[in-house]
Amino acid sequence: MKEHIKNQTFRADKDVWKIPRLMKLAEELEPFDLPLKHMNIHNLYPAIESTMEFVEHIQYVLDADLDTPIILDEEGYVMDGRHRLAKALLEKKETIKAVRFEVTPTCCFTEV
């Protein structure tokens, strides 16, 4: 696992999931080819606050491994894999490997 992933999280409102846990749970899901034209690609990132943060994200996109499926929740929202999704779009791919939870796992914790 890449070092920067160890502390990454996915947030939905106040619920928080740790990415390493999602990756472990997703290992049992069957990957499929998801057409990119079916993806809602708007509002994938919160505002990037600095040029260095922007550059860091560009590097993550360039380093993204398209053989690793993106992880979707039960509604199809990207829980993990936005850098892979961005790379696939940049490379004008028609599909991306994905896995989707039938039932979104319980969050790790809820922020107060």
pLDDT by 10-residue block (mean), the chain, 112 residues: 68 88 96 91 70 90 96 93 94 97 93 84
Biggest distance spanned by C-alpha atoms of the chain: 40
Give the model's pLDDT for residue 30. 98
Total-model pTM: 0.88
Give the model's pLDDT for residue 21. 95
Answer left, alpha or beta for residue 15, where phi above 0 means left and psi between -120 and 50 means alpha: beta
Give the model's pLDDT for residue 89. 94
What does the domain layout of the chain look like in residue ranges?
3-105
Question: Do 66 and 44 contact (CB within 8 A), yes or no?
Answer: no
Give the model's pLDDT for residue 48. 77
Read off the tokens for 102: 């039938």
